[in-house]
Amino acid sequence: MALTLGPAVALAQDAKVKVQVEVVLASNKGTAVEPAELNKMKEAFQKQNFSFTSFKRMSLDTVEVAAPKPTEVKLPNGTNASLQLLGMKDGIATLRVIIPNQSSVEVELGRQGAVYQKAGKHVGGDLILVLVPPSK
């Protein structure tokens, strides 16, 4: 059994995944949705009864996340979120998302599209990390 675990652990150490990281400020101040592509996010939130009225993109980057060292993402509220690759299986990446003053969460990036993760308060709203695997 130890023989089957060894190669999987070694593989995880070399694994890398590119992740598109969008930081969005969601609030109830006004009704602006900037840019218009965020209307999909607004609709998804409304279906889940998260009724923010305004969505504004604060940043959009593609980062490379590797194991075991976390990748830092600067947030506009002065803190950093950390993304750490925990594993890859069947084209799905498992990431640990660490945000200051919140518990870390594990998310799976792959077939289901974007993953939304709350990332703290900022100027009267909530910062939302939008994690998307880049298109192949």
Q: Is the pLDDT of residue 4 over 70?
A: no
Q: How far apart are CA 68 and CA 6, in angstroms?
A: 16
Q: How far apart are CA 60 and CA 52, in angstroms?
A: 20
Q: Is the pLDDT of residue 7 over 50?
A: no
Please give the radius of gyration of the chain, using alpha carbons only, rounded to the nearest integer. 16
For the entire predicted model, the pTM comes to 0.85
- What is residue 32's three-state secondary structure? coil
Q: How confident is the model at residue 8 (pLDDT cuts 50, 70, 90)?
A: very low
Q: How far apart are CA 74 and CA 104, in angstroms?
A: 16
Q: How confident is the model at residue 101 (pLDDT cuts 50, 70, 90)?
A: confident
Identify the H or E element spanning 24: strand 16-27
Q: How far apart are CA 110 and CA 108, in angstroms?
A: 6
Q: Is the pLDDT of residue 112 over 60?
A: yes
Q: Domain extents for the chain?
A: 16-131
